[in-house]
Chains A and B, each alone.
Chain A
């Protein structure tokens, strides 16, 4: 049902990265391992962005998520070192959480698959066109007065506020 070519192989590989890494994050007891699984999962998402012809987002994904957020998380894990490997990693309602996650997935999957079920073929949902906006278009859209310049400025303000807030909260008072 999927023709075997380089793209579909890459898709399956990246899907395995994403889902395997995700499962690793939520199941492993050792937090450093969890952070490494997170990196694997994020890397798979970057691969998806390449497959979806958004190379800029893929590069930013690697730079921001793996280069900054994952490093930050590993730092935090090491600073709170006595908590790295808890004997009880899960709370008492873990089975309920599993139930919620499983049911939600069933609903979402039904919502995704049912519309294409029995459609002319499994290939339903092809891209409407092969012409894709480029990184230049994204840059212009972000600073264009008619498009996203206001959210863009608010986002930079948010980053500044978050930086100052993080410094103030985490600072040692002594």
Chain B
């Protein structure tokens, strides 16, 4: 199990050594090959995913979607990529040329880098870092640099304003995301992605802590900048934001980076909360892990697409209020309650045993789930009370303004 597998690549390295290559060189080459494989996987997948996304959006909007290029329009993304490549590559006057060209590369690289720590099967993982979660958070936080750099180097005040808006959102939603990440780490007792997946053999963490899953999911929607959090882009209201001056291939890199980020987040959610590669028979045939992880990822991905295409956009003040006045306090409460309950169950002897099978996980999961449900009940009650008060206040104000302006002129917002 512990062997850092990639059977094919290791075999290749052994063949090269047998053929007279220097062992160090063979190791280096096989490591490079592994890097290329892990980095190519998301790149190839994203080409298909763009097609999936456009078809999905089209069906929701009662359209056909891409259907001209190739069977079922499958090659539409390839055609789009070619179009991007052949467009003129414009660098605006007064732009900081080197940094301007650097930003798309950062945007793309930070997403690909995350794939290094994702465990695909019990054997296949790019690098099982002991601080995998922190690595993901750290690499993700570099994403803010790319926005800043792109917005500033464009020499365009709209790009700069868009960058400020984006950074405010990215930095804010990192807080609940990291707090939600603490819960899988606490339950598995490790920050390694592979250990976290392995610890979910008996029970997925979504059952033990649905709230942490929801917080992670929502804050990642905001991190990727998709609707309903697409203030970053907001095509129909504002100019595009920090990437307004980019064209051609560089814009394509931003766009591909965004699509890949959504997919990457779906994979991470599957790994951290939906049991990763776990599924029937995966211990006998590790390669099945690819299938199970893919299926779970697609489930999360379709949930994201559904939300993107059906929920209206927030205003910026709503985005900020929702984060700082709701998500952050809620995630702190969840972490505290979860840690407390885990401590209690451990001292009562209800913690899962070493085998970590379904039955031994059951008592602790039920306790944690009840804790989560209690938090949800309290929160829903608070929301309902506030909504009722707001409605009463609105009705009172409306009645008052009706008296003041009998003509019924709109009172503004």
Contacts and interface: CB of A to CB of B under 8 A. Distances in A.
Interface of A: 5-6, 32-33, 36, 39, 55-56, 58-60, 62-63, 66-68, 70-71, 74-75, 78, 134-135
A63 B137 contact: yes
B331 to A, nearest CB: 17
B105 interface: no
B145 A56 contact: no
A66 B141 contact: yes
B131 A63 contact: no
B252 to A, nearest CB: 24
Contacts of A75: 148, 167
B156 to A, nearest CB: 14
B23 to A, nearest CB: 12
A59 B141 contact: no
Closest A-B pairs by Cβ, 3 of them: A67-B141, A59-B134, A62-B138
B131 A56 contact: yes
Given A36-B149, A55-B129, A67 B134 contact: no
Contacts, number: 64
Interface residues of B, number: 27
Given A62-B141, A66-B141, A67-B144, A32 B152 contact: yes
14 contacts: A32-B152, A32-B153, A56-B131, A58-B131, A59-B135, A62-B139, A66-B141, A67-B144, A71-B144, A74-B145, A74-B152, A78-B160, A78-B164, A135-B191
B28 interface: yes
A174 B153 CA distance: 32
Contacts of B99: 32-33, 36
B148 A74 contact: yes
A67 B152 contact: no
B131 A70 contact: no
Contacts of A60: 134, 138
Contacts of A6: 24, 28
Contact of B134 (A39, A56, A68): A56
Nearest to A67: B141
A70 B134 contact: no
Contacts of A71: 141, 144-145, 148, 167, 171
A79 B37 CA distance: 43
Given A56-B131, A78-B152, A135-B131, A68 B141 contact: yes
A44 to B, nearest CB: 15
Given A60-B134, A62-B141, A135-B131, A5 B191 contact: no
B135 to A, nearest CB: 5
B142 interface: yes
A32 B171 CA distance: 19
Given A36-B149, A71-B148, A134 B141 contact: no
B130 interface: yes
Contact of A70 (B129, B139, B145): B145
B24 A5 contact: yes
Nearest to A77: B152
Nearest to B137: A63
Contact of A63 (B24, B96, B141, B149): B141
A142 to B, nearest CB: 15
Contacts of A55: 129-131
A62 B139 CA distance: 7
Nearest to A39: B145
A48 B131 CA distance: 16
A71 B171 CA distance: 9
A32 B167 CA distance: 16
Given A5-B24, A36-B149, A75-B167, A62 B142 contact: yes
B148 A63 contact: no
